[in-house]
Structure 1
Amino acid sequence: MMGNLNKKLEVIEQSLKANLPDKVFHNIQQSIEDVQQLSNVSGLQVGENVPDFVLQDAVGTKIHLYHELAKGPIILTFYRGGWCPFCNLQLRAYQEILPKIQELGANLIAISPQNPDNTLSQKEKEQLTFHVLSDTEGLVASQFKLLFDVQDSLKSVLEGFGGNLEEYNSMERWVLPVPATFVVDCQGVIRFSHIDPNFMRRVEPEDVLKVLETL
């Protein structure tokens, strides 16, 4: 049964389908199928150790993953960017359950390729109180086996959403992470992973909470 978050995401999807030209919506669907065929974006799996990293947040503070894991389990979520309405809805849903996450002794880190300036504007807009980090070269997403190059057919579609990745990510190469969420225990071991090339679908926050309750 579809959860509350995905019901809201489906409303956005249906709105796009109703308002976009058929060719544009077809290009979006085709891009999802293309990413599904890629062999290098399967994502890290349950039982694997996560690579350590240091990334900056919106105000330039360096966040060290393994230092954060020393405090408790971490939910790591990779998202496409603040220009993506599906991502914004997901981040708001996580903000709503953040008190429950913290009650369980855990915390949340969200990562996108956006440069810190764009991350700050999104963080202010969404009023997020968890770490929102900038993976501007896509190196961390690549280590997590999530990074892919955007096809030319999709570039114009993304620009139509205001998603000029050269501007947002401050790099010429157009790359995105497959949306993914991991629950990582204090030893750095992945206890749950959800990787879906269909960016219009996300794991339900309540399902992530259930995993945390078992740690």
Structure 2
Amino acid sequence: MSLTQELLAANQTNRANIPGETLAKMDAATQALLDDHIEDRAPKAGDTLPGFNLPGVDGSKVSLTDALNGKPFGVVTFYRGGWCPYCNIQLAHLQNRLPEIEALNAELIAITPETPDNSLNTKEKHDLSFAVLSDIDNSYARELGMVFALPDSIREIYGQFGLDVAKFNGNDDWELPLPATFVIKADGEILHAFTPADYTKRLDPDVILEVLRKQQVAA
């Protein structure tokens, strides 16, 4: 089952088990992001992804150049947190496809607003062998125009689900990034951008691999 298929199945199951009134509030929050055109403000193919200097799971700062580890290509993906079931599905699929990504001369980098301690928990939980970096206070994602605040209605719902996003992120902002993924060249040029306002959607690894394969042919 592909990532896209598994996400769709998970979403269908979740929607079937969430009360209608709650589901309506969640759908309204997603629609508000779409209406705000947040996707349009995010970086696009042809833009340059700016560099960063973010702490890894051990707290040491890592730059984009460091994270690429000399590779000509990179896959930079943002996930909401280890508390998000859709993120966990995505991370597991990325780990499974990591050998194929690396075979195409690309380095995979995941970025989350969670604190390094919490991102370490996620890394260990899924046995992730790619870099996981913490974007404290969403500073980097904000630079990319991809940050939004969860409305009060969603904070209340998450509280009912037992999710304390503020605790995971180490602040009281209740802000999250779009679950975006960028395939880039080493100089930061964006070859492919996927910046969904709908948190249940992610860029499928099959698409990532297709973009990278085209680069091999072009070379």
TM surpasses 0.5: yes
Aligned length: 213
One-letter amino acid matched to 1:45:
K
Which residue of structure 2 lines up, in the alignment, with residue 171 of structure 1? 171
Which residue of structure 1 lines up, in the alignment, with residue 3 of structure 2? 5
Larger displacement relative to structure 2 (66-75 or 142-151): 66-75
Higher helix residue share: 2
What does the per-residue CA deviation read over 1:98-123, in whole Å, with 9 as the maximum and x for residues that have no partner?
Answer: 01111111111111110111111111
- Give unpaired runs (5+ residues) of structure 1: none
Q: How does 1:72-87 map to 2 (within 5 A)?
A: 72=71, 73-87=73-87
Which residue of structure 2 lines up, in the alignment, with residue 183 of structure 1? 183
Which residue of structure 1 lines up, in the alignment, with residue 109 of structure 2? 109
Which residue of structure 2 lines up, in the alignment, with residue 36 of structure 1? 34
- Give unpaired runs (5+ residues) of structure 2: none
- Give me the TM-score of the superposition, normalised by structure 1: 0.94
One-letter amino acid matched to 1:214:
K
Matched, 1:71 2:70: yes
Which residue of structure 1 lines up, in the alignment, with residue 21 of structure 2? 23
Conservation of the 8 A alpha-carbon contact between 2:95 and 2:128? yes
Shift of 1:40: 4.5
What does the per-residue CA deviation read over 1:55-99, in whole Å, with 9 as the maximum and x for residues that have no partner?
Answer: 111111321103334612110001111110001000110001101
Conservation of the 8 A alpha-carbon contact between 1:83 and 1:161? no
Q: Secondary structure at the residue paired with 2:93?
A: helix
Conservation of the 8 A alpha-carbon contact between 1:182 and 1:193? yes
One-letter amino acid matched to 1:10:
L
One-letter amino acid matched to 2:81:
G
Shift of 1:143: 1.4
Distance 1:105 1:161 in 2: 40
Distance 1:121 1:156 in 2: 25
Q: Percent identity?
A: 34
